[in-house]
């Protein structure tokens, strides 16, 4: 088929590669513009732009598509059979949704209608879901509301992290979209409306979402750490305001909370929670890299009785 691909982050790259390897004609790739990055703040192209250019594909990166009829016409002039969208980052106006012969398909990292929105990977882990997955849907004007062409699930375990789930769903989405397009060029599989029941929304995350609230249960804190690492990252503070980033932790079901929430209760960085105890296993202090707890404690001892978090945590 004659395709347009639209995506920006690492999540989208496997789908681009899979479509290229399947022999589809990718007439253009749309991605977010290069952004300042690193200490020198030099402009860095997105992962999708880098992958597309390595494949010799034409890349476009408009800053905005809203009220841009010239962009809409340029998109329509590509005469694409279908556009594949995977974490692109810009809302497609209706003229662009209508331009490809078979419309625009979105690779969404959740089992719709659960976790529509910006952070489906993290939200599934935060909520303690037992499964996640990928939905290929026909795009329409609403936020992730379009009818579904294909939907496949993967299990979530107590060890699942945002990083591992991201990679699993990225690979799954690439496989699914290739299978979708293997149908006859004249049409796609028949889409089915999303159920009206079970709709939830995954909000856009901010840095403050990573603040550990020690009043929560050990299991909830563990899910937050697994869901929000590496971005936006989870953190707590010492009494002097020093920020400690938390990279990994392990709930201890055999150790009930024996102190006020946020209190370190032993020499292994076990912390009392609102319900239960959790042991911090990877930490980072300002100006240092993330390290295992044993190495961290050699540089900054945190004895039993140390309180983590602000008085409001």
Taking the C-alpha atoms of residue 139 and residue 78, their distance in angstroms, rounded to an integer, is 18
Q: CA dist 176 to 20, 41, 47, 172, 196, Å?
A: 14, 37, 21, 6, 24
CA 151 to mean position of chain CA atoms: 18
Residue 270 known to bind ligand: no
CA 205 to mean position of chain CA atoms: 10
Residue 112 known to bind ligand: yes
- With H, G, I as helix, E, B as strand and everything else as coil, classify residue 192: strand
Alpha helices in the chain (DSSP H): 13-21, 47-54, 69-76, 94-98, 120-126, 162-181, 218-228, 293-299
Alpha helices in 77-154 (DSSP H): 94-98, 120-126
CA 302 to mean position of chain CA atoms: 33
Q: Check: CB of residue 21 under 8 Å from CB of residue 74.
A: no
- Other C-beta atoms closer than 10 Å to the C-beta of 65 total 17
Residue 110 known to bind ligand: yes
| Most distant CA atoms of the chain, gap in Å | 69
Task: Find tokens 């856009």 and name the residue.
Answer: 204
Give the residue numbers of the binding site: 110-113
Give the residue numbers of the binding site for (6S)-5,6,7,8-tetrahydrofolate: 110-113
């Amino acid at each position: 088929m004659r395709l347009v691909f639209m995506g920006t982050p690492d999540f989208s790259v496997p789908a681009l590669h899979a479509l290229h390897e399947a022999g589809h004609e990718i007439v253009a790739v749309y991605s977010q513009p290069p952004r300042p990055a690193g200490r020198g703040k030099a402009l860095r192209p997105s992962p999708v732009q880098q992958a597309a250019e390595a494949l010799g594909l034409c890349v476009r990166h408009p800053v905005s598509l809203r009220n841009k009829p010239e962009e809409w016409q340029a998109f329509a002039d590509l005469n694409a059979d279908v556009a594949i969208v995977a974490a692109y980052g810009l809302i497609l106006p209706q003229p662009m949704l209508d331009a490809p012969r078979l419309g625009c398909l979105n690779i969404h990292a959740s089992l719709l209608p659960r976790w529509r929105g910006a952070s489906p990977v993290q939200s599934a882990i935060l909520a303690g879901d037992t499964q996640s997955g990928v939905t290929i849907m026909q795009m329409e004007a609403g936020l992730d509301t379009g009818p579904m062409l294909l939907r496949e699930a993967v299990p979530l375990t107590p060890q699942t992290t945002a990083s591992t789930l991201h990679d699993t769903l990225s690979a799954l989405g690439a496989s699914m979209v290739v299978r979708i397009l293997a149908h006859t060029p004249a049409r796609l599989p028949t889409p089915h409306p999303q159920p009206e029941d079970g709709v939830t929304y995954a909000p856009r995350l901010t840095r403050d979402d990573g603040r550990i609230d020690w009043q929560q249960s050990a299991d909830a804190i563990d899910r937050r750490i697994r869901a929000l690492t590496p971005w936006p990252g989870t953190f707590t503070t010492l009494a002097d305001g020093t920020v400690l980033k938390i990279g990994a932790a392990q709930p201890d079901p055999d150790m009930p909370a024996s102190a006020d929430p946020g209190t370190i209760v032993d020499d292994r960085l076990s912390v009392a929670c609102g319900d239960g105890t959790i042991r911090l296993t990877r930490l980072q202090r300002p100006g240092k890299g993330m390290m295992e707890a044993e190495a961290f404690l050699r540089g900054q001892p945190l004895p039993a009785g140390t309180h983590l978090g602000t008085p409001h945590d």
